[in-house]
Amino acid sequence: MTFAHTLGFPRIGAQRELKFALEAYWAGDQDQAALLEVGRTLRQRHWQLQADAGLDAVTVGDFSYYDQVLDMSALLGVVPERFGPVTGQVDLDTYFRMARGRAPSGTPAAACTMTKWFDTNYHYLEPEVRADQTFSISTTALFDQVAEAQAAGHAAKPVILGPLTWLWLSKPAGGDNFDRLSLLDALLDTYAGILNRLAGQGAGWVQIDEPALVLDLPQEWRSAYERAYHRLKSAPVKILLATYFGALEDNVTLTCNLPVAGIHLDAVSAPHEVTQVVDWLPSHKVLSLGIVSGRNIWRTDLDRALQTLKAAQAKLGDRLWVAPSSSLLHVPVDLAQEAELDDELRSWLSFAVQKLDEVVLLKRALSASADAQTLAQLSSAAQAAEQRRQSPRLKVAEVRDRLAKLTALTSARAEPFSERRAAQQTVLPLPLFPTTTIGSFPQTQSIRQTRRDYRRGDLSQAEYERRIEAEIRDTVRAQEALGLDVLVHGEAERNDMVEYFGEQLDGFAFTRFGWVQSYGSRCVKPPVLFGDVQRPAPMTVRWAQYAAAQTDKPMKGMLTGPVTILNWSFVRDDQPRSDTALQLALALRDEVLDLEAAGIGIIQIDEAALREGLPLRRRHWQTYLDWAVGAFRLTVSGAASETQIHTHMCYSQFNDILGSIAHMDADVITIETSRSDLRLLEAFKAFEYPNDIGPGVYDIHSPNTPSVEQIIDLLEQASRVIPAQQLWVNPDCGLKTRRWEEVTPALEAMVSAAKVLRQRYAEQAPALGQTAKV
Ligand code: GLN
Ligand code: ZN
């Protein structure tokens, strides 16, 4: 019989129970025993779901109070010195201090760095290692949980993060520079100890996650894989080495030949590798095929999955296992809660609970004597799949027509930047070092309340609009008082920069409980982009126009870009993402034109998530960048030369993609730089960025007020690599998470700094001062 299992299950709870328990504990509203009880209840519930679905083992070790990478660091006893000496066990508050800098007990210290987990929207905490790092088993959570599952009568399959992926994700502490592989032997001793202990508890199989195998790895690291698994092969357990999130590519032979009892392959992202791996797999090894997506929310095309599985089964027999492609951590918990979705749409979807059923159904379908119930379920799944393929809701002829007619002319702006710049200067008399903000202003309690009341129907549309207008008016007044040059309306009407647009576009649906963990207790609820995207009516014009009418200063309109909307949604899987991006671009293009027609002369299109869409393998980058940048260019292609297009990105690590960023050809780009110590500016020494740029001059993520001197200093540094005429002055991101008491002094400092610099430049280089109005 085929073995059915999952690589992991969401831990947050169908009602986000873990989130609320964590936050109550951190706030001191609940004691640790209450938190631990919620954890225990969730684990029991999730194991029971797996057992009831008919999986052959439950997965243990996927539960976490914050993050599975941090769990591994704690298990290994790797706690940075600033959190105090650890004698014996790493306790829960030390763990939380590593995650968030503070906890109900213990001295606060700078939290560990949070980083995106591969190409998902989940974030892990980077392990910090020293050259003289030692390792020892320092938590019992994993072993306790194995005992807990066994006591509940489950067959437990423990999962741990593998030594090489853990080490790959780690970074040398405090700027130490050493080869992290020098720690491998000591690390493996502790891993061997963990496996021994699990064996002692009666664990037969242990899943060891090594997703780093889908990355471009240096040769030393590839060799280290062999060394590591030869060392661990004497452990008295069977190792299932799990790879996911991509194809193995150049690591395929390496992986197949590692001395482990089985490997797991992500057959959703690497369907083309299945045959190869089936053929190459040494004859005693198990192959677990991840055929149900752990990353997306669409119901699996079971017929297609079965074809793949049957072909593999013909060769492997009972050595074939079936599973989701990755942990189900990245999908919401249970579709059954979504009573508000229409039946048709619901029949196309599958969340974690449903995906367990799909895995088991596939297992049953593979057995020689599939029963009548299995066959009936298969045929109803096939029907839903067919119905989705045929659904008129997926395709809008008009959208397809427009896309088919796109030409090079309609997908780029008419004139080059130099000419646009001249045109813009005549209609937009801006000083040197123009000041602006990124879009949002503080989202006060009363703004949130207004939106909530309106949503619930407790506020009439007229009253809602009156209140939003009042907020906009106040925000405009405040910006005038600060002396900013380019104003914004403040985004009071927006709950979220993607949801706001998704809600107004055709082709999107929204769930009620479709939460996915982003980090720690934070969850996001991505919209479901299921069909062709169309804009039935203008989305932002009304507010932009109102804002513009409140002032004589230039008003900047504010849109979220196509690639960001795409990357932060669950996207249809029946056409390439690049096609969906173009549809979004077309809808946003219409919005740009409407804003322009309404007299908005500056329009910002945020692409906060463009970089995070980069494929894991470098050789796939350019393809992605080409279509992503193409979608942005299409969005702005209709704008007149006089219209100034801005874009914003919340990061500055694009030294490696500067060419593509420049190819976006925004007239102005505002970016994050203050936290990265102007590292980006280094890149500008080599690459002459042609258009205007606003290197964020202070960190909005911190409540601290920047000083005028700090800002001047930063801008002077910037002007050494970027001509002063190209520089804008702005914070490094939107201000919605800050309070007015923080925003006002910070922007005052920013405006003062800009004035000082204008003065300096007017004195030093009068000619330069003349090109723009000082
Ligand atoms: N315009 C958005 C804001 O200011 C941009 C947010 C972002 O880049 N994450 O809030
Ligand atoms: Zn930002």
Tokens 């066994």, residue?
Answer: 150
Residues belonging to the active site: 701
The answer to whether 553 touches 475, Cβ cutoff 8 Å, is: no
Taking 70 as the threshold, does the pLDDT of residue 675 lie above it?
Answer: no
Ligand number, closest to the Cα atom of 701: 2
Query: How confident is the prediction for the chain on average, in pLDDT?
Result: 95
pTM of the model: 0.95
pLDDT of residue 685: 76
CA 309/CA 306 separation, integer angstroms = 5
Residue 774 pLDDT level (bands cut at 50, 70, 90): very low
Residue 368 pLDDT level (bands cut at 50, 70, 90): confident
Q: Convert the pLDDT of each residue in 164-180 to its tens digit.
A: 999 999 999 977 889 99
* Ligand 1 atom 4, closest CA: 734
Which residues are bridge partners to 729 per DSSP?
Answer: 435
Residue % of the chain over a pLDDT of 90: 91
Taking 80 as the threshold, does the pLDDT of residue 668 lie above it?
Answer: yes
CA 345/CA 510 separation, integer angstroms = 11
Distance 671 CA to ligand 2 centre (A): 7
Output the DSSP codes for 290-344: EEE-SS--BPP-HHHHHHHHHHHHHHHGGGEEEEESS-GGGS-S-GGG-TTS-HH
Ligand number, closest to the Cα atom of 671: 2
- Work out whether the CA dihedral 270, 271, 274, 275 comes out positive or negative: negative
pLDDT of residue 688: 86
Distance 440 CA to ligand 1 centre (A): 6
Distance 476 CA to ligand 2 centre (A): 20
Residue % of the chain over a pLDDT of 70: 98
Taking 60 as the threshold, does the pLDDT of residue 770 lie above it?
Answer: no
CA 752/CA 353 separation, integer angstroms = 56
Taking 90 as the threshold, does the pLDDT of residue 679 lie above it?
Answer: no
Cβ-count burial of 319 within 10 angstroms (0-12 exposed, 13-18 middle, 19+ buried)? buried
* Ligand 1 atom 3, closest CA: 734
pLDDT of residue 771: 46
Ligand number, closest to the Cα atom of 733: 2
Instruction: List the alpha helices (DSSP H) in 428-503.
Output: 445-456, 461-482, 499-502
Distance 699 CA to ligand 2 centre (A): 10
Distance 754 CA to ligand 1 centre (A): 22
CA 529/CA 638 separation, integer angstroms = 25
CA 271/CA 106 separation, integer angstroms = 48
Distance 557 CA to ligand 1 centre (A): 12
Ligand number, closest to the Cα atom of 743: 1
Phi, psi at 707, each rounded to 5°: -90, 155
The answer to whether 170 touches 125, Cβ cutoff 8 Å, is: no
Output the DSSP codes for 649-691: ES----GGGHHHHHHH--SEEEE--TTTTTHHHHHHHHS---S
Taking 50 as the threshold, does the pLDDT of residue 625 lie above it?
Answer: yes
Query: In testing the pocket of ligand 1, which one of 491, 497, 651, 736 has its CB within 8 Å of the most ligand atoms?
Result: 497
pLDDT of residue 686: 79
- Work out whether the CA dihedral 616, 622, 627, 628 comes out positive or negative: positive
Query: In testing the pocket of ligand 1, which one of 440, 447, 605, 700 has its CB within 8 Å of the most ligand atoms?
Result: 440
Tokens representing residue 645 in the block: 């297009």
- 263-267 contact pairs (CB < 8 A, 24+): 263/287, 263/288, 264/7, 264/207, 264/240, 264/288, 264/289, 264/290, 264/321, 264/323, 265/289, 265/290, 266/214, 266/290, 266/325, 266/326, 267/291, 267/308, 267/325
Report how far apart the first and last C-alpha atoms of the chain are (Å, whole number).
79
Phi, psi at 533, each rounded to 5°: -95, 130
The answer to whether 269 touches 355, Cβ cutoff 8 Å, is: no
Tokens 């690390």, residue?
Answer: 187
Which atom of ligand 1 lies at the shortest distance from residue 560's CA? 1
Ligand number, closest to the Cα atom of 498: 1
3-state secondary structure of 759: helix
CA 22/CA 142 separation, integer angstroms = 19
Q: What single letter denotes the amino acid at residue 477?
A: R
Which residues are bridge partners to 695 per DSSP?
Answer: 671
CA 683/CA 662 separation, integer angstroms = 12
pLDDT of residue 82: 95
* Ligand 1 atom 8, closest CA: 608
* Ligand 1 atom 10, closest CA: 734
Tokens representing residue 96 in the block: 């939380």
Taking 50 as the threshold, does the pLDDT of residue 769 lie above it?
Answer: no
CA 772/CA 768 separation, integer angstroms = 7
pLDDT of residue 768: 53
Distance 420 CA to ligand 1 centre (A): 25
Question: What element of type H or E holds 711?
Answer: helix 708-721
Q: Convert the pLDDT of each residue in 200-214 to its tens digit.
A: 999 999 999 999 999
Distance 714 CA to ligand 1 centre (A): 22
* Arithmetic mean of pLDDT, 577-590: 97
CA nearest neighbour of 318 among 367, 360, 270, 358: 367
* Ligand 1 atom 5, closest CA: 734
Distance 256 CA to ligand 2 centre (A): 42
* Ligand 1 atom 9, closest CA: 608
pLDDT of residue 119: 95
**Would you give the distance in Å from CA 435 to the centre of its chain?**
30
Tokens 């940075």, residue?
Answer: 80
CA 428/CA 451 separation, integer angstroms = 34
CA 527/CA 514 separation, integer angstroms = 9
Residue 365 pLDDT level (bands cut at 50, 70, 90): very high
| 684/436: higher pLDDT | 436
Distance 659 CA to ligand 2 centre (A): 20
Q: Convert the pLDDT of each residue in 680-694 to its tens digit.
A: 677 777 788 899 999
Q: Convert the pLDDT of each residue in 464-482 to its tens digit.
A: 999 999 999 999 999 999 9
User: 184-188, 230-234, 307-311, 761-765 — which is least confidently predicted?
Assistant: 761-765
Q: How many CB atoms lie within 10 A of CB 446?
A: 11
Distance 489 CA to ligand 1 centre (A): 13
pLDDT of residue 677: 61
* Ligand 1 atom 6, closest CA: 734
Question: Angle, to 10 degrees, between the axis of helix 461-482 and the axis of helix 740-764?
Answer: 40
CA 33/CA 131 separation, integer angstroms = 37
Distance 8 CA to ligand 1 centre (A): 33
Query: In testing the pocket of ligand 1, which one of 491, 543, 672 has its CB within 8 Å of the most ligand atoms?
Result: 491
Pocket of ligand 1 (CB under 6 A): 438-440, 491, 497, 558, 606, 608, 648, 650, 733-734, 736
Taking 70 as the threshold, does the pLDDT of residue 678 lie above it?
Answer: no
CA 487/CA 747 separation, integer angstroms = 12
Query: In testing the pocket of ligand 1, which one of 540, 606, 671 has its CB within 8 Å of the most ligand atoms?
Result: 606
Which atom of ligand 1 lies at the shortest distance from residue 649's CA? 8
Ligand number, closest to the Cα atom of 700: 2
Tokens representing residue 458 in the block: 């407790």
Tokens 């964590």, residue?
Answer: 22
Taking 70 as the threshold, does the pLDDT of residue 676 lie above it?
Answer: no
Which atom of ligand 1 lies at the shortest distance from residue 734's CA? 4
Residue 369 pLDDT level (bands cut at 50, 70, 90): confident
Output the DSSP codes for 197-243: HHHHTT--EEEEE-GGGGS---HHHHHHHHHHHHHHTTSSSEEEEE-
* Arithmetic mean of pLDDT, 510-531: 96
649 Cβ contact list (under 8 Å, min separation 6)? 606, 607, 608, 610, 611, 661, 669, 670, 671, 672
Question: What element of type H or E holds 185?
Answer: helix 184-200
The answer to whether 203 touches 160, Cβ cutoff 8 Å, is: no
pLDDT of residue 674: 67
Ligand number, closest to the Cα atom of 558: 1
Which atom of ligand 1 lies at the shortest distance from residue 604's CA? 1
pLDDT of residue 511: 96
Which atom of ligand 1 lies at the shortest distance from residue 438's CA? 4
pLDDT of residue 651: 77
- Work out whether the CA dihedral 611, 613, 617, 620 comes out positive or negative: negative
* Arithmetic mean of pLDDT, 264-277: 97
